Structure 1
Amino acid sequence: MYPSTMHAFLAPEPGSPEALTLSTLPTPTPKRGEVLIKVAAAGLNRLDIFQRQGRYPPPPGASDILGLEVAGTVVAVGQPSPGIQIGDQVCALLTGGGYAEYCTAPAALCLPIPEGWSMLEAASIPEALFTVWSNIFMRAAIAPSESLFVQGGASGIGTMAIQLARAFGHPVFTTARNQEKCQACLDLGATIAIDYQQQDFVDIIKQVTHGRGVDVILDLVGGSYIPRELSVLADDGRLCLIALLGGTRSEVNLAEMLKRRLTMTASTLRPRQVDFKAHIAQQLKTLVWPLLDHRTIHPVIWAAMPFEQAAAAHRLLEAGEHIGKIMLKLDN
């Protein structure tokens, strides 16, 4: 059994981290094909900040509660939910609802806790894994021996992208904001880590690839970075834009794209249908989960803060000094 009410964080009005409000709300009831999870840990993502600031509202039908990834124990099942039973320990990708004592999730987006991993560790991976896999391995269809360039390798997305690409044999180039973060990227398996505050990634990539460039770019920046990134793509290269930290506008030389057969894609995962994300989940379970079970890929957690300190966790995320993930942990 579970209580009829729970504590959860909302952002009723846009604002600073202090806008996060711990509220008492009805415990959600799982719908058909969903499960109810007693949350043990939740991951923070930059999209949570944007939602709190009023810049990224939840998609239609999603919970107003913040949080896109959790790990915990299934306490109720909405029929049917094949393969998931009460008592199962899972991590899950959400469209919202993670900053709460209980949350619902589509059963198809729940995956088992990797062998030997803690709940806290497991909660740190769904958003990054789904995002990296769907862009690099599905949309860009990175081929054997092709190279990857990751903008922001010390982020939650970046640390996962480096490890996942290296696990499948791809050379990885990346940027980070200082030498400490660059070293962390190298320790995770990056071939080259570029301090973007001190070095020009265009010059370095062209130099180390002898002018050929890289095959796939995972870009969290956008804006003025786009033309520079296109200049370091190899012929037939693909650029995957997944965030706009550097702005929403850019000027692109289309003639160069035509001449060198370049591809640029842009995508967000949160509003996509469950069936699409379930397809990603099945590929992850088959191809990536064995790597997690053997810790070939491992969690990178910078800080784990008590659930009640969500505002402080947001401040830490906004400061940008972290490497990997910032987490919330619940005492349950």
Structure 2
Amino acid sequence: MTVPNLMRAIDPARPGGPDVLEIVERPVPSPGPGEVLIRVHAAGVNRPDVLQRMGLYPMPPGASTILGLEAAGEVVALGDGVDSLAVGDPVTALVSGGAYADYVAAPAVQCLPVPPGMRFAEAATLPETWFTVWANLHDLAHCQSCESLLVHGGTSGIGVTAIDFARLRGLDIIVTCGTDAKCEAALAKGATHAINYRDGDFAPIVRELTGGRGVDVVLDMVGGEYFPRNLASLKDGGRHVSIAFQKGGRLELDISFVMRRRLHVTGSLLRPRSVSEKGELAQALKTEVWPHFADGTLKAHLFREFPLEQAEAAHRLMEQGGHIGKIALTLTSAGG
């Protein structure tokens, strides 16, 4: 196919609310060495996109100012040195930016095949959450079967992916949600227990649910006042992993409590990692997780899709928190 010189993109000229998400024309990127050019059929919508739109999420050096961290589509061009993919291959990819556009360049090692029978809009919702969950629960927390896990935002993209991870690994997973309906939805997706955090402090409930022991691992996206409650929810020797801090990143830590309980406190960010690190994550997912999409054990958790022209509505839904699972943008002119 002939690749045009210009494409549609969402590239806000200034920080602001969802109304700044207007379609503009931008040059089609060229794939560099080790990269492929993807004709985007769909792009996942994630919390970091909202923060970047607001001017609150600094981009790593060299990242595109076009929004979007995950895209699904077909490979239309290969950069130098790429022999693992071919033109025409359907892929879903983690990118450092640029997915809200008709075309995006992606490192070949960060591309994964679209699972058989899965639509592009569904496949576009997989990379960001699965890379994040695998990097933190497998690589950092070393979750083992028969352990227990506490995850906040049980019906968010990370939440439903963590539930799937727990199902694959044989973990008990306790989630917190903001409504009784979301608690029911999380249970339906496979959570062991779901707590409505509006009912009060979750830590005593977690300890009660675990027979007074506490959980082995906490995966936290909240920070702020949740941090001491998370530590109180852990068993002796438990592991706390931070991946975001929606309620604030400056935390007060009673180090003597950590020392007495022999707790491990760690965390990570995905976007600043090197291409080689992300490539290793992709290879692990391809081997350990992707076969479960093919055999039906796992599925995408697409809540709603919007055309690119309605990116503003997609971000408003994300901010309102009314979704269960993931949101995607579709690019109809790219065949999506």
TM-score, length-scaled by structure 1: 0.98
- CA distance in structure 2 between the aligned counterparts of 1:168 and 1:147, rounded to whole angstroms: 11
Structure 2 matches for 1:75-154, cutoff 5 A? 75-154=76-155
> Which residue type is aligned with residue 127 of structure 2?
P
Gaps of at least 5 residues in structure 1 are none
Report the equivalent of 2:280: 279
SS of the aligned residue for 2:289 comes to: helix
* 1:259 Cα deviation after fit: 1.5
User: Among the aligned pairs, what percent are the same residue?
Assistant: 49
1:269-299 deviations in whole A, cap 9, x for unaligned? 0011001111111110110011111221211
Report the equivalent of 1:226: 227
- CA distance in structure 2 between the aligned counterparts of 1:121 and 1:93, rounded to whole angstroms: 14
SS of the aligned residue for 1:141 comes to: coil
Mean CA deviation greater in 138-147 or 198-207: 198-207
Report if aligned partners of 2:94, 2:127 keep a CA contact under 8 Å in 1.
Answer: yes
> Which residue type is aligned with residue 127 of structure 1?
E
- The structure, 1 or 2, with the larger RCO (C-alpha pairs under 8 Å, 6+ apart) is 2
1:29-87 deviations in whole A, cap 9, x for unaligned? 00000000000000000100111111113210110100000100000000111311100
1:204-240 deviations in whole A, cap 9, x for unaligned? 1111111100001110000111011001111111111
Mean CA deviation greater in 290-299 or 157-166: 290-299
SS of the aligned residue for 2:265 comes to: strand
Report the equivalent of 1:325: 326
SS of the aligned residue for 1:194 comes to: strand
- CA distance in structure 1 between the aligned counterparts of 2:271 and 2:83, rounded to whole angstroms: 23
Report the equivalent of 1:14: 15
Report the equivalent of 1:262: 263
> Which residue type is aligned with residue 307 of structure 1?
L
Mean CA deviation greater in 7-16 or 289-298: 289-298
- CA distance in structure 1 between the aligned counterparts of 2:265 and 2:295, rounded to whole angstroms: 34
Report the equivalent of 2:296: 295
Tell me, yes or no, if structure 1 residue 30 matches structure 2 residue 4: no
User: What is the count of residue pairs matched by the alignment?
Assistant: 332
Report if aligned partners of 1:186, 1:193 keep a CA contact under 8 Å in 2.
Answer: yes
- CA distance in structure 2 between the aligned counterparts of 1:200 and 1:189, rounded to whole angstroms: 23
> Which residue type is aligned with residue 39 of structure 1?
V
1:4-32 deviations in whole A, cap 9, x for unaligned? 11000011111111112311111000000
Tell me, yes or no, if structure 1 residue 52 matches structure 2 residue 82: no
Report if aligned partners of 1:6, 1:27 keep a CA contact under 8 Å in 2.
Answer: yes
Mean CA deviation greater in 175-184 or 193-202: 193-202
- CA distance in structure 1 between the aligned counterparts of 2:186 and 2:107, rounded to whole angstroms: 33
- CA distance in structure 2 between the aligned counterparts of 1:260 and 1:297, rounded to whole angstroms: 36
* 1:199 Cα deviation after fit: 4.1
> Which residue type is aligned with residue 206 of structure 2?
I
TM-score, length-scaled by structure 2: 0.97
SS of the aligned residue for 2:162 comes to: helix
1:237-284 deviations in whole A, cap 9, x for unaligned? 111101111112222221111122111112110011001111111110
Report the equivalent of 1:182: 183
Gaps of at least 5 residues in structure 2 are none
> Which residue type is aligned with residue 141 of structure 1?
H
Structure 2 matches for 1:208-223, cutoff 5 A? 208-223=209-224
SS of the aligned residue for 1:197 comes to: helix
- CA distance in structure 1 between the aligned counterparts of 2:222 and 2:208, rounded to whole angstroms: 23
Report the equivalent of 2:193: 192
Report if aligned partners of 1:304, 1:328 keep a CA contact under 8 Å in 2.
Answer: yes
- CA distance in structure 2 between the aligned counterparts of 1:65 and 1:228, rounded to whole angstroms: 37
Report if aligned partners of 2:177, 2:195 keep a CA contact under 8 Å in 1.
Answer: yes
Report if aligned partners of 1:42, 1:98 keep a CA contact under 8 Å in 2.
Answer: yes
- CA distance in structure 1 between the aligned counterparts of 2:200 and 2:85, rounded to whole angstroms: 49
Root-mean-square deviation (Å)? 0.9
- CA distance in structure 1 between the aligned counterparts of 2:172 and 2:186, rounded to whole angstroms: 13
Report if aligned partners of 2:22, 2:309 keep a CA contact under 8 Å in 1.
Answer: no
Report if aligned partners of 1:12, 1:21 keep a CA contact under 8 Å in 2.
Answer: no
